[in-house]
Structure 1
Amino acid sequence: MGEQLGQLKIIVVQGKRLVIRDFKSSDPYVVLKLGNQEVFDKDLLKSDDKMGNAFLNLQPLVSAARLRDILGVSSGETTLRKVIPDNENCLVRESSINCVNGEVAQNVWLRLRGVESGEVELTIKLVKNVTTKT
């Protein structure tokens, strides 16, 4: 079994310039895929409409978490790495990976593909697992 760097947490902050797929608005949701795992919510009232997709390589976040452990960073805020838009991600602009009080976090704007327009802002955190003794 590989090393455990922590728990991955994804926070959907906001979307902008999303396409309208219903009459006057849309009820978008985010589907997250990690390997063969999926987390999602379905539209109960009608069939789902495609509102775009995006991808992000998590390897820079994992590398930053390893660097956090090597450096022993556990308090304050430290920038560990910068990630630029390329063919391994759908980043709109450069993004920093920071260690904030032991949590490795990256705030990203991703451009949606396969649609006329749309971007989604996510905060991705790799939080150290806290074990408790019983």
Structure 2
Amino acid sequence: MTPQRMVGDFDCSGEDIERDWVARTGCWSRTERVLLTYDQVRAYELPATKGKQGDPRWPAFADRYGFDPRRPVQWEVEALEPAELQRLVLAAVDPYIDRDVLARQVAREEAQRRALEEFVGRWGAASEGPS
């Protein structure tokens, strides 16, 4: 079964969403984090923000990644440059895109766009009426 792909912040709550999603939905047996991962946080040198004080998941998370257990931190996916965020998401879904289906859908949307433009053009001409 294909895993559920997810995008989220890198923090103890975000990491737990993956476990919770599998437990609650019954649709997937596992999830795969596309971003934000620990390696991406390091590679992009993203700034940490203050984490949630008192989150019971923080100590285990801190231990797993070598963080100070007294100072909760988190990283927001929005800290990535928008173009890079888009590139990473598109790269993650690209292997699952059926190019034939996509091409048919794009052609259908183009036909609908042309029909709407034609309709709007006729509407404007009809509302002007005779002078």
**Structure (1 or 2) with the greater helix fraction:** 2
Higher relative contact order (CA 8 A, sep 6+): 1
TM-score category (smaller protein): under 0.3
Structure of greater Rg: 2
**Structure (1 or 2) with the greater strand fraction:** 1
Taking structure 2 as the reference length, the TM-score comes to 0.23
